[in-house]
Structure 1
Amino acid sequence: MSASRRRRTAPDAPDSDIARRRLERRQASGRRSDERWAEILAGAARVFQRLGYSPATLEDVAVEVGVNRATLYYYVGTKEELLVGLLYRPLETLRERVDEVAALPEPAPQRLESSLREYVRTMAELPELFVFLAENVHEVMSGPEADRIRDNADRSGRAFAEIIRSGVQEGVFRADIDPAVAVLGIIGMFNWMHRWYRPDGARTLQDLGEDFIAMALSSVRPPPTGDGPGTPRP
């Protein structure tokens, strides 16, 4: 077999001009700023939120965006690739914001409050995060960018845990609960909003977030001692 023939049939080699151009688009560092790519990502977010990631198809996304399948395939080859492109920046933004607050020279309660507020703000600004929260989508992603998505999510959780751990050391948070377990409970409460929150509801996401922040802070503070007001009797 000739060298040229081997090149044409190699698994990673594009076998048509369209496939070659699509591969170049995927590898181009500036693709995320491309207007059409942004439209496709926005349409995918709506489709995945409405139908769920698993049952949704690339054809559903093409219809949502108003392009034909050939145009869509020029930009993205698989649904998984589209999911990675959709979630990469939001999870990175969330991690950056939480890390920034966690590093502030403030007492743990203020840092926990501020970091949770940043979490809610990011959810409101980047609703793509609801796709990540709705399903175990991290289980279907692969590749370097998908690894980065998982890493950003894990690092955000560790930053929250470190804030709580420092609060325990300061004596302002209860020491009888593992900080990692506390984070799972607190973040789980916030993440569950994707099941019932409606943008057209009576309260904004930020309003609900403030209630959740108050409950989160209350849950990690030491219980009151003595028989003062508000202390429940056995």
Structure 2
Amino acid sequence: MGSRMPYRKNESAPSRRDEILRCAAEIFEAKGVGQTSIEDIAQAVGVKREAIYYYFKGRNEILAEIVLPQSTALLLSIQQILDAPMGFPEKLKTAILSHVQSLAPGYLELTLTMRELSNLSEDEKLEELRGMWKNYTDLWSELVRQGQESGSFKPGLSPKMVAFGLLGMLNWMSRWYQPGKGASLEEIAETYATLAMQGLVED
């Protein structure tokens, strides 16, 4: 009789750690991070709270692990757009499209980032995330500044204030956008890009 094949864990099945992150993201989005306890997450996963602490130090670390991948992707995207060989109006439009469309694969993650990050207590990982989002804002400001220097964008406007205004408009989507309801991400991106271009691009 042949020997049995060794047992292998199903690699396609989500790990317990991934399951914790998924459940936590859903609860954070529904209740808010500040109103969510480790016990809430443990009940959603179906484990004792001690099991959560086996994987994570606490709620802030869970949040950081949820939002870090999407935040990193956005930062890389705006840097690549700045470095790309295209005109500044096209860079602006591409940056807006990139930001809006990033909600498609990571709706919960980015919603949590935009809603919660500025309201949470001090924490090393969250400070890292805040630093990333500051860099992201600075790169938007740099895009505007370079566009003004090239003569593509209207002079006399503060690049920093323009960046804050654009990102405020884009990030407010986290308050009202619902996947599959109302306008599509493509329609929203085109609308926002048109508004920005009309306000910034020199005739």
TM range (shorter): 0.7 to 0.9
* Correspondence for 2:112 among 100, 124, 131: 131
What is the root-mean-square deviation of aligned Cα atoms in Å?
1.8
Question: 2:117 touches 2:126 (CA, 8 Å); kept in 1?
Answer: no
Aligned-partner Cα distance in 2 for 1:206–1:195: 18
Bigger CA radius of gyration: 1
Answer whether contact 1:132 1:138 (CA < 8 A) is retained.
Answer: no
- The normalised TM-score by structure 1 is 0.75
What TM-score do the two structures reach when normalised by structure 2? Answer: 0.85
Q: What is the aligned partner in structure 2 of residue 109 from structure 1? A: 89
Q: 1:140 corresponds to which residue?
A: 121
Matches within 5 A, 1:1-234: 35-127=15-107, 128-137=109-118, 139-143=120-124, 145-222=125-202
Alignment coverage as a number of residue pairs: 189
Gaps of 5+ in 2: 1-13
Alignment check: 8 A CA contact 1:138 1:150 kept: no
Cα separation, 1, equivalents of 2:186 and 2:51 = 38
Give the C-alpha shift of residue 146 in structure 1. 2.6
Q: Provide the rounded CA distance (Å) in 2 between the counterparts of 1:51 and 1:197.
A: 17
Percentage of matched positions with identical amino acids: 26
Q: How far is the alpha carbon of 1:70 from its aligned partner? A: 2.7
- Paired with 1:204 and 1:37, the residues of 2 have a C-alpha distance of 32
- Give the secondary-structure state (helix, strand or coil) at the position aligned to 2:103: helix
- Residues 41 and 111 (structure 1), Cα distance of their counterparts in 2 relative to 1, 3 Å cut: same
Question: Structure 1: any 5+ residue segments left out of the alignment?
Answer: 1-33, 225-234
Q: Could you tell me how far 1:95 is from its partner in structure 2?
A: 0.3
* Residues 117 and 130, structure 2, Cα contact 8 Å, conserved in 1: no
One-letter amino acid matched to 1:133: M
